[in-house]
Structures are given as structure tokens and as C-alpha cells.
Amino acid sequence: MSIYQTEVTTIEGEHTTLGHWQGKVLLVVNVASKCGLTPQYEQLEKLQQEWQSSGFSVLGFPCNQFLEQEPGSNEEIKTFCSTTYGVSFPLLAKGDVNGEHRHPLYQQLIAAQPEAQTPAESGFLQRRMDKGQGPKQAGDILWNFEKFLINRQGEVIQRFSPDMTPDDAVIRNSIQAELAK
């Protein structure tokens, strides 16, 4: 099945498919409002503003599976994102990225890219493991703000760890390379 056939629900409750964004370069990110990494919203929005006219979009996927750091309703999440960080990129309805109720979108993302690229000398995974918060099984999303890059053909081409910030040169260069194709 093409990733574009994957059914998703927007944060406003509209049922659609990823086909709505077909032909765009996408950065799909599981997000949370009460996480130490939440300030990444600002950098994600900067990417959206910088490249949306070139066929790029961030897609935020709120998730409450990591220390319940996204406890709000879809409406509360939308309000927080727009008023606190000026988020204009699309947000999807809150859902699971790991476990038995993992959203089909994340099933496909993980199947295509089972391991995330990490920044040089990152200790993020080890810190999660030391706290007993590491992945339960191979391929699991490690934490909030893990990122997947999808090219214009709908291929999941890269996965970036939560601590690789959206302004990291690796992420920016990867997006730019896909936009140039």
C-alpha cells in the first residue's frame, strides 16, 4: 500500500489520507506540549515558513505515550501550538506511535526506516535507557519529536532521533536536497 493511501484524521476531526499532501516533501514528527523538546515547535515552524512555497510541509502527530507529555484534547493541543509557537503546519489527531494501537501511518514509517539517525555523540538513547524509558521493541519511536522525511514520491527516506533538532544541518540539507529534485 502506498503511504498516500494511509488514512489520517486532522486535529480538526477531518478524515483524509496522506494523499492530501502527495507531491510534497514531508517531515512527519510526533509532538508533545509538555516535553523538554517542545521548543522544537519553533524550529519546525521556521522550516514550514521557509520552504512551504517550495512544496514542503511539516506534519505534526501529537502523542501522549511518553510520560503523558501530551495530555490535552485535540482542541487544547491546537490552541497551545498556535498561541505558544504560532504553528501553521498541519496537525493530525492525537494517536499512538508505539504498541498494539500504533497508528497505521507509524506502522509504515517504522517499517520503511526502522532506525533513526542521531546527532554526533548523542547520549539521548542511553539517558532514556538509564531511566527505564527506552524502546520496548526494535523500531519503536524513542521519544517525542522523532522525525521522518518523506520524498515527493511518498518514499520514507530518513528518520531522525528526537534530539536531532529541526535546525540541524543534516535535517536541513536532507530537506533541501529533496526539494531540489
By annotation, the residues acting in catalysis are 35
- Integer Cα distance of 168 and 150 in angstroms: 17
Conformational region of residue 58, where left means phi above 0, alpha means psi within -120 to 50, and beta covers everything else: beta
Taking only Cα atoms into account, the Rg of the chain, rounded to an integer number of angstroms, comes to 15
Ramachandran angles phi, psi of 9, nearest 5°? -120, 130
Count the residues in the chain.
181
Residue 156 and residue 131 in contact, taking contact as beta carbons nearer than 8 Å: no
How many angstroms separate the CA atoms of 12 and 15, rounded? 9
